[in-house]
Amino acid sequence: MFTAKPLAHLFTILLFCVLPQILFGQEWLVMRSTTGTVIGERITIGMKSAPFPHPKRSAGHTYDGKSYPAEQHYRDSSVMIFLPKGFKSSKTVDIVVYLHGWGNSIDTATAKFRLAEQFAESGKNAVFVFPEGPKFAPDSFGGKLEDSCGLQRLLAEILETLQRTKNIKSRLGNVILSGHSGAYRAIAFMLLRGGVGVREVWLFDALYGQTEKFTHWLERDCKRLRGRFINIYTDDGGTKAESEKLMEDLAAWRIPYSLKQETELTKQDLTRSSVVFIHTDLTHNEVVAKREQFRQYLETSSLGCIQGK
């Protein structure tokens, strides 16, 4: 028969240990493909270093005459971490950060663009990190990721989470920043003052501006780290003019780059040059997954492979 003290003790355990994990999602869940195949595990938790909330959006945001309240669009501190099936920890862990564009969220973008599936299919032994941005809002502001050393704090919290929840005691390895559409701004600021060396950058129809920050990274860190820059752009997505302008500037500065039509693109094209511009005939929302682009860039990246793949 239970006495009052053991019952009180059990309640305390539930209150402080079990319930927070249930309420805040601090448990790893199996992820499956659309066909039911297990592709890995994910955890989605609130983090102090997540982009939001942020003081600059404490009152929300107004765009084109419409208000986007902070409570609905700028209070979600969720960060998704995905480990592909077969992932093995080592002394260092490589991390790929992805940011969504306007009008999206972690869940909608993950499903729409098959991000976790493409990541798993690439066979890369790395961690996929997806922080929540302006949720369902027309806004490119990156919140705390635009602050000085914001990327460094996020990745430190990722490593701490991996150690606490999966006993993965690894140091930070290669870092890749990627994103679609409005993600360009946060990526640019992370390159400028994120506090972490970035090995590769992939822009999915996202070069709308902040070009000087990308250029600074190309001249400095990309060359020093033997990195890679991929910019895929469309005719009607609003990035064509800025992409062509950047290519003109690179040519004037004698910085080598390649320009490829996506319909003629090969894996070799993605590895021969450290700066790759890809002109596509697809639409703005087709550049991430229509031709498995995210998977292709992963496969040809500097990341290590899962053993046996």
Burial class, 85, CB count within 10 angstroms (exposed 0-12 / middle 13-18 / buried 19+)? middle
Report the topology of domain 23-299.
Rossmann fold (3.40.50)
pLDDT score, position 225: 79
- Measure the N-to-C terminal CA separation of the chain; round to a whole number of Å: 55
3-state secondary structure of 144: helix
- Report pLDDT digits (tens) over 14-40: 343 344 344 445 799 999 998 999 999
Work out the pLDDT band at 5, boundaries 50, 70, 90: very low
Residues 69 and 57 sit within 8 Å (Cβ to Cβ): no
Q: What is the mean pLDDT of residues 270-291?
A: 97
- Report pLDDT digits (tens) over 123-135: 999 999 999 999 9
Q: Please report the sign of the dihedral spanned by the C-alpha atoms of residue 25, residue 289, residue 63, residue 209.
A: positive
Q: Please report the sign of the dihedral spanned by the C-alpha atoms of residue 34, residue 35, residue 39, residue 45.
A: positive
In 3D, which of 183, 29, 40, 46 has the Cα closest to residue 116? Answer: 40
* Prediction pTM value: 0.91
